Structure 1
């Protein structure tokens, strides 16, 4: 223990400078219990530019604005070991690093949610993003001496992120056929926030999406026509195109508002809008509905002319988009299928009529996709055989056709059948076997062998040549299989045979090839870790294989990027192996795998790293194992997301807080006494080492972090003094920390539970000397310390000091003597042998004081019914029959906890006196009437009778407390 913390007369005034500093303090500064504890009196003065400080300091006159408070050093030695001098440099405004570092984390979480394309995840992440932006903006404004405009806030979100989120919500609604109200509300909020909150310019694309939300809504709050007019009026520079006009007209046509649709059509023509085919098709329906066949025929002629002049690229893209729409939508309208057939026919005619276009690979791929959707994959193969020419079909067409054979993939029973299916498809589009097969097609076959439902779920993905690989990587563990149907041992065996065959052909073990089999081994009822570890080792040994992609000349840039992703080994690929280790509680295998991954240079994102730490720590059996897991994972480099400043190693702030929480939840027994019920505390040097790592990673620990650690060491079954002391020492070294009142209370309570009353009294004296804020918790801890160590005189002095200073404060202010503080004070009196005094206070001053405060604060639930005529006397009378409650439903005045504590002490006093009485009697049999008479007149009986008389509603709850205590 440090010298200035020794319990001695000098302890109350540990600094020789304290007395003169408090003497020169302005007389206007008095102890105000409501003053925030995070003010400058704890460590360093906050900048005068902060609005909160201006309000507080303005009460003390202009003189106090120009210099720091002189009494800070009297209390700062508890939180700053060096007790730094107070110079003008400490008044420079500082931006909140905690808030600034949380902003990129919120943006990263928002981008991850966008990547899932799940509306619920996007909306939840966006709400957290808005909260982070508000905290960020408030922090910037508080640290600036001038008005901060929206562009100067510097929140790291990109406009493209919000636009992508809106696009995913709209596309989700298009697939469902309508937009739910909560999605509409989310899109509208994002649209407004782009300009009002983030300062982005509203572009035509944003207006297009905003209009879409009104047209897709099943119950729009504003009619799409009115919304369309308002958007055009609010953004006069916006020139809506045929698509925007068509959205509104299509909405009117669906709701049979044909006259209004024709009126809007004429308005669009008058505005000089270039009409496109979708709008013409809609207007054909409208004119036919009103029997205007002439206009409908004229529009049909325009459609025929436009189709005849469409280029090959436009037709190809149109057929591709319509095929994807037909496959992904739950309900496909007849008009879309008619357009698909029309464009597919025109595309086929264009290919047949022009020999130069007959070898267009992308056009034939679109036709084969159309044929597979309409007539089935077998007809698509027949078309491919007839249309075969060297160079027409590439590897992408082969994979597309393979994935479109859904039924065949579902029916695969052996590796031989899988290879036969692949050979049949290749013979149709590549009879000369010029296409070199790689991991992509074999991965599709493995998925079909492992889980029939998995291939069916991937049908929508199979239709997207550029996105199927990404979908494989993003599904559970990369396998794409449904977790509801685990593969049988025979299926796993056949996939292993197929894998061995593919490896014998020289195909390297890329993640795309290995993942299906790896996931099957790990998700089995009894995971096969040796087989899974061998597959991982194969991947790591052949990890540097970009030459495979170089040998394959992809037909598009997007496919090249997709292939490079298939060769990247990430933590998501080996995640099933770690899950299996956790399932089997095989920590040794998990650490061995982590060691291999680290040697291979695998990066782990902070969020994944935190999750792995928490899950692996949960299967450890000792503190050294738990902290070894932390050290093993913390050394992994992080893979920073775009636009964020993630540390090269370590965790993010949320990760450190979550990790500390998981560690505090662990309980380990002493190996020397395995049957002992007392758990071992976490080694302070290890636990606080994580806090130090947190600071080194750029995330300064907050007061809440220190408070949670102090509470952990204090509330163990056997409080750990070494943990409390080490945490206190770290607090002193953290010169940037501004301790708040919960942290002060936690420190006092920790020393109280660790049986160090001198430290509690020293902190209390410093609080009183510097006129800092206290509350009911502070008093409760102090009274508990005084009661446990017989310091009744010190407790009485504290009561007098609090009442005197509160009386000097003036005004209407809640007293620090809350109900909890009163309970602690009564317990203190009882522990110090003043039980009768405690009982009188409970029925008298405590009840009246709390009633008076509740009346003054208008905090009684029945205050309105009494018409403002409530008095303390009336409440005292009422409390004899029924509890008096505040607006939150809490009892005002003594309750079951209060009287239960007093009854326990009364029972103890009764038994103590009874033992003494029986000891004074002569040896021999004791008359039961004497014992009974002694018990009937005890203080416990008197207290019970008084509770039954003055608090009759409370008596049934406490009447049995103290009945069966041994003599």
Structure 2
């Protein structure tokens, strides 16, 4: 296999999307059914039930997702229900699903119970809470547990509350855990030893040792007796925190139990592993190995975690695959256990960190596969990370090796516990979007696999991967498909902000003319833009286009080579017809600016007048940006009426008669200077810069202000231009060195000090 891993990337067929609108989004639709003359008989409910039972025993989430809906359909369409369909079996399936990312499936099973003849009991509610907590739906879990008594006649037990508390622990939210404990007490359920053990473990995980000690004191004052898990959590936590003095106190208590024979009443593998961890820290790998051998001879209950505890220390400084294999064999001899995936993964990471690096780690992986060690994500992720480091572009050869590793992981087993996880897909998708060596064909394969396995990208990572794959695409259609395929994994992952970020990235792309375009323009096809807007309107939760969305499109389509007043008017009609839109000043400014850029000056003025007419509405009245856009529009218009408008508005603002603009900013002044120069009113422009700016609370000119003045005064001839240059040097020498002038024939160069 190692030789296969090292092969260069295989040639793949190039992708050529179809331009037909009828097949625009085939990846979001079901495949066309084929007609079968000999259609196979549908499996019976009894057969489906048997397969469902076997699927949950075999850790096959993919099969459960398909079999359960078929079982319900078949059972309800052909009564009576199968005699072997019982509540215990459904609860067993629910327990399995509750530990996965298929919460919707779990909720469906729960909701189907009455229709299948079973009344949901307390255990069903508990399992549902486990599913909510494991999938991060903590707010929903809290609402559910508060409603259990009123809606279902069931009083939540401490175990139910502990499920939610542990959910906050998984999220690293100790404050949230304590908040739930308070709610638990108010609801009449007292925290038990499991509650306090979770708080202790969370405090250790967050490095808050003072909180650990506070929780232990609170536990004692509440009359809750520490159990074996409490002592184990304290021992392990203190060892990992380097608090060896405290760890030895816990060690003495555990050893006392061991000598008194209490181990037969509960001293289990976890406690032994805690003691073993302390031994390794204090006496090194050799001391830990010696203790494990003694316990093995005494018949102590060592497990695979004992072996892993030793492997962590022994893997430090490994140089070659031979040393790694020898270490694992020594551990197997010392513990009497076979090294599992976890132990192999620890040794593999030790090799990656050592001088041998990736080549030796790949050899160890091959050795593990030769010994029939089933890989999982924990084993493969470090290799992928080393191969596809984000800090450097992944070569086609390294991506080829990564593909081989992924194929082996995904095909070796369909069990949920050994399937590729979220991090595997994120790493590979990032590599596929590499701008130097993109591989969009493989990204489509990954996304299809994710969809089949029910693996989703969260709301934070989904937009990132969509945008990265878009930028690696070779056409607008290919970029849109990258977006659409990832969106199809979970339509709830994108919110309004994410859609706008994706649309912004899409409109910033630049490709040759598109088959879906109506012209030779290089802009994004409007048909695809409309698909984006449609997705936003029909998203869940609702994320309809907002002012930012339309502002983005107005700016984009007013700057294209084919921009026209009719195109902007069409967008204007869309936003007027959008009943979900709440317009604001920024949107009106974008609309006014868009009309101005396409030469529809009268339409731009109407937008300004509309804003003035609605000046009592703070959300839509004019602001300083509106003023700059209006002045710029007047300057480009060039008509006498436009000059009159510019001068009138400028005067009204100065005299405080325009609600929404309390004072003029530097951008306003620069727009005014340029406007006056376009009309040949150079004296007014110079007066504004040299006499009016910087006095009576007005902003002072900067180098950019002077550059605009110098550039625009060329319209008045060389003599005027030279006169302004000399005035700048004479009156504003402190800005002279920062100013860049516009040299003859439009070439930019640094200002030179005029000769006397």
Q: TM (normalized to structure 1)?
A: 0.48
5+ residue gaps, structure 2, are 1-132, 138-162, 748-756
Q: Are 1:656 and 2:522 matched, yes or no?
A: no
**Matching of residues 568-967 of structure 1 within 5 Å:** 569-583=420-434, 584-637=437-490, 648-668=491-511, 680-697=522-539, 698-715=542-559, 724-767=568-611, 773-797=621-645, 799-800=647-648, 820-821=667-668, 823-825=670-672, 827-832=674-679, 835=680, 838-843=681-686, 855=696, 859=697, 886=699, 890-891=700-701, 895-897=705-707, 899-907=709-717, 940=721
Distance in 2 (alpha carbons) for counterparts of 1:574 and 1:657 = 24
Say which SS state the counterpart of residue 586 (structure 2) adopts.
Answer: helix
Aligned residue in 2 for 1:321: 234
Aligned residue in 2 for 1:346: 256
Q: 2:378 aligns with which of 512, 516, 526?
A: 512
Q: Displacement of 1:411 after TM fit? A: 2.5
The change in CA–CA distance for 1:388 and 1:941 in structure 2 (over 3 A counts) is closer
Deviation string 1:436-471 (CA, Å, 9 cap, x unpaired) is 76433333333334334xxxxxxxxxxxxxxxxxxx
Q: Displacement of 1:378 after TM fit? A: 3.4
The change in CA–CA distance for 1:200 and 1:940 in structure 2 (over 3 A counts) is farther
Aligned residue in 2 for 1:372: 280
Q: Are 1:450 and 2:349 matched, yes or no?
A: no
The change in CA–CA distance for 1:537 and 1:528 in structure 2 (over 3 A counts) is same
The change in CA–CA distance for 1:957 and 1:592 in structure 2 (over 3 A counts) is closer
For this pair of structures, how many residues does the alignment match?
A: 556
Q: Are 1:422 and 2:328 matched, yes or no?
A: yes
Q: Displacement of 1:747 after TM fit? A: 0.9
Deviation string 1:237-294 (CA, Å, 9 cap, x unpaired) is xxx999389xxxxxxxxxxxxxxxxxxxxxxxxxxx9799xxxxxxxxxxxxxxxxxx
Q: 1:411 aligns with which of 318, 332, 337?
A: 318
Distance in 2 (alpha carbons) for counterparts of 1:893 and 1:533 = 55
Distance in 1 (alpha carbons) for counterparts of 2:467 and 2:352 = 31
Say which SS state the counterpart of residue 605 (structure 1) adopts.
Answer: coil
- Larger-gyration structure (1/2): 1
Aligned residue in 2 for 1:102: none
Distance in 2 (alpha carbons) for counterparts of 1:749 and 1:615 = 30
Aligned residue in 2 for 1:395: 303
The change in CA–CA distance for 1:809 and 1:894 in structure 2 (over 3 A counts) is same
Distance in 1 (alpha carbons) for counterparts of 2:235 and 2:368 = 35
8 Å CA contact retained: 1:159, 1:200:
no
Distance in 1 (alpha carbons) for counterparts of 2:527 and 2:356 = 45
Deviation string 1:790-810 (CA, Å, 9 cap, x unpaired) is 322244156447857997959
Aligned residue in 1 for 2:363: 493
Aligned residue in 1 for 2:29: none
8 Å CA contact retained: 2:514, 2:522:
no
8 Å CA contact retained: 2:634, 2:642:
yes
Aligned residue in 2 for 1:304: none
Query: Structure 1 residues 708-717 or 698-707, which shifts more?
Result: 708-717
Deviation string 1:654-684 (CA, Å, 9 cap, x unpaired) is 3223323333443345599xxxxx9933333
Q: 2:399 aligns with which of 529, 552, 570?
A: 529
Aligned residue in 2 for 1:11: none
Q: 2:246 aligns with which of 336, 343, 347?
A: 336
Q: Displacement of 1:381 after TM fit? A: 3.8
Q: Displacement of 1:744 after TM fit? A: 1.2
Q: TM (normalized to structure 2)?
A: 0.59
Distance in 2 (alpha carbons) for counterparts of 1:363 and 1:217 = 22
Say which SS state the counterpart of residue 635 (structure 1) adopts.
Answer: helix
Say which SS state the counterpart of residue 694 (structure 1) adopts.
Answer: helix
Distance in 2 (alpha carbons) for counterparts of 1:370 and 1:808 = 76
